Amino acid sequence: MTAQDGASPDQTLKTGGSRLRNRATLSSRIEIVAGGFLVAGAVIVAIVVPMIDPAASTAVGAAPALLSPGFPNLLGTDQLGRDQLARVAAGYGISLTIASGAVLISLVIGGLLGLLAATSKSSIDGLIMRTLDVVMAFPALLFAIVVVAIFGSGSEVLMLAIGIVFVPVITRVTRAAALETARQSYVEAATARGARRSRVILRHIAPNSVGPVLVQASILFAVGIMLEASLSFVGLGVPPPTPSLGLMLSTARNFIVSDPWIAIVPAIAILLLVLGFTLIGDGLQAWLDPKKRTTAR
């Protein structure tokens, strides 16, 4: 029997493997697209709704209080008669700004520290990583609370607090990716050609280590939004009357029995946004990680 006559066990394995791989690639693409839709939807709501009526999110008494979803208040109104859609849109704006700022801070600081740790001598590497171990020893929410305790509340402080919480994660991922890249033959070739160390790091190691760092960043977006919402929920985030989704939910607790809508609207709004970023992060991870692709995880 020749190989053409029938599938050898090896071929069966290969075909099975490739079917799983295709299915995994397809499912990770579906995840990325679905997540992209959710995030794009939130971004559009955050940009477009405030354009229609910029003051609607804080306009007290603009409509009767605690209206159910309907017309003209599509998502109803809160206990002060403010439009819930306008407040969700403004809340999305705050969440996305804080999460983006935090991720950016962590990418800049963590990226630089990670590159430095990977390309320096072991004493500097050790110093950086052990210092970050101390930050990682704090549960994320508690470290953010420590930063808020020191600097006071507000959007910028939240950005900084969440950004610092993320620094060790980005540093570790950057360091691991940069160490892997530094072993590649093209980096050795550049060094052998006599390229300066800074050039090797910035032109060869850094750009080729970006993939895993960006995947991690997309996952951190989801975590950042959750952390912001959690801090605002317990009253340690953005101060009222700024419409944060966490703060909206916290206020909604008092009306949950008589007017459940007031809680359901921000709850679903947070859920959709975090789900969007989680799906993108998951999809990217599965798509870019060949090991995960082959095992359809």
What does the binding site for another protein look like in residue numbers (CB under 8 A)? 20, 23, 130-131, 133-134, 137-142, 145-146, 148-150, 152, 222, 226, 229-230, 233-236, 246, 249, 252-253, 256-257, 260, 263-264, 267, 270-271, 274-275, 278-279, 282, 295-297
Tokens standing for 138? 């704090």
Q: Is 25 left (phi over 0), alpha (psi -120 to 50) or beta?
A: alpha
Burial classification of residue 4, based on how many CB atoms lie within 10 Å of its CB (0-12 exposed, 13-18 middle, 19 or more buried): exposed
Name which of 40 and 234 has its Cβ closer to another protein: 234
DSSP secondary structure string, 2-25? -TTTS--HHHHHHHHHHHHHHHHH
Nearest to 217 by CA among 181, 253, 167: 167
Peptide bond into 72 cis (omega under 30): yes
Other CB atoms closer than 10 Å to residue 2's CB: what's the count? 6
List Cβ neighbours of 128 (8 Å cut-off, separation of 6 or more): 113, 116, 117, 120, 171
Name which of 197 and 253 has its Cβ closer to another protein: 253
Name which of 61 and 240 has its Cβ closer to another protein: 240
Question: Shortest gap between Cβ of 65 and another protein (angstroms)?
Answer: 20
Name which of 115 and 128 has its Cβ closer to another protein: 128
Question: Shortest gap between Cβ of 235 and another protein (angstroms)?
Answer: 6
Question: Shortest gap between Cβ of 42 and another protein (angstroms)?
Answer: 13
Name which of 63 and 148 has its Cβ closer to another protein: 148
Nearest to 224 by CA among 132, 119, 50, 103: 103
Name which of 108 and 234 has its Cβ closer to another protein: 234
Name which of 103 and 270 has its Cβ closer to another protein: 270
Question: Shortest gap between Cβ of 257 and another protein (angstroms)?
Answer: 5
The DSSP call for residue 114 is: H
Name which of 206 and 265 has its Cβ closer to another protein: 265
CA distances to 97, 194, 228, 240, 253 from 246, rounded to whole Å, are: 15, 54, 7, 11, 11
CA distance 206 to 215: 15
Q: Is 296 left (phi over 0), alpha (psi -120 to 50) or beta?
A: left
Question: Shortest gap between Cβ of 195 and another protein (angstroms)?
Answer: 35
* 8 A C-beta contact, residue 245 and residue 88: yes
Question: Shortest gap between Cβ of 161 and another protein (angstroms)?
Answer: 12
Question: Shortest gap between Cβ of 137 and another protein (angstroms)?
Answer: 5
Question: Shortest gap between Cβ of 252 and another protein (angstroms)?
Answer: 7
